[in-house]
Chain A
């Protein structure tokens, strides 16, 4: 990874203790002087992974740009819970236009900045675009791909909670197989979402060979911050895909958000990596490999797999997908490769 590895771990947890680190190595979130880009008082659900992810990411981007940042936001939970007028949680210049055009709006902002800089009318200002998985992988995909292809100077952050949670937990193209949503109910012979070829946007972003692509989860704060920091060091199109568990949509306890994100990574369900120009540069290795059941069982959206007659067949298929991720991305670290 692009930051100094930390050797000390608190016994029995996976948390890097800030108190064990030198001050300059501590996370942005640990600083009393953090920007609080998305301030308290918003209307997110208890335990919202997206609120957490947005705060981590945008505060890190603000730190990296010394506060010279503009954000474009897709329609969705993040937009709704953070802003009904006249209130706003955003302490940064922020615009919401539509559901499907956020990357293009950000491209426009970046183009304006470029001209204004050239004319000497404005100092260097950077642009982030953000949206949920629906706004990114489905309705906003065309604009996102266009922004990638033009290599516009935009960092696009997708907060992936695996569905349209704002409208009542419908399926998106990022909904994982077998998961129950309100449009893929737990009914019939093959309950939940279909097993398809998937639409895994980080890989699609890689195929665009843009300067920077990374995945992260809200369970690894320092890793997430380092990736945002790295992204802001680079010019051109950048993409960070952050897994943000949704207690409402996943049917998990509000207190389990960070744990669920960690389990997604430790089971291999969600590979965490970093890539430049289409080539994977590093992965965040699994520390204690766990079976997918550990990740699936706490989630009500998979409850139909653990009924009177457990769907061992379906669980095996999900395990196979995780195993494939582990092989493909080399998630067990150097020895395992």
Chain B
């Protein structure tokens, strides 16, 4: 019956995904009629969460583009960056020093010192990324890719321990200028942090997009294609590695800062669980395709929607499916996605020869 329709050309697995998407659309329409305010709030939160995932996924993609490997330490880099901001705005001194943070006395609207402090945190995050890359990743140029991935796993454990001991596993506030406030559309309460996350995701995406078109970005794509061939063309592979890690670390910082805000966390503070944000964003990047910036954006949104919608509308079954179930929804989505497209939505299929 379906054989002559466009649907008939799809594999059973793709058909299953199409069915899921259709069921989701129908569900949204039903909800839009019965309780529009809840739906609007859920969609806004989904966009917010998806944006945070996208920012972190962009970091993954950048590092993957340069080094062809996954950076498992992204979560700890995110927390480290957020801790730098927390030092600057909450404790009021420059990270690693006792010098008072001069940016806090600049005056003007209260958000200006905070934004400048974010730039300072980004600066320190860039240094951290460069150091980590120089010590642990640079010696591995040309080595088997999985070894590099395992090195980043080792880095993750080192950095996570140092992070936890630095924050003494207490909640550390980031003093965000918008606090926990939001605005109302009808009955739906929309948090400002959703808007900020979405804006940051768009800005990051455009920045990455422009970067790809720069001279260095083209060099990075060449390195991703073949490290040795790129070297032979006179490209400084080490420099490309460094740039990728610096940019990845800065993106991780942005993700880490927004990862302490709703909808990811209601507390608005860094805690030991913040580092798990990267492991939750990992499915997004795999779903979108490890080497595609647009894939990171789309994957982040899909995962964000799945997680928030599941959290909102399945909560009455929590006793059966277990508390904290939204946290594994990304992985369930990823497993389904990988069966259909093993290289992700926008990812380049790997061409292999004998």
A binds B: no
B residues engaging A (CB < 8 A)? none
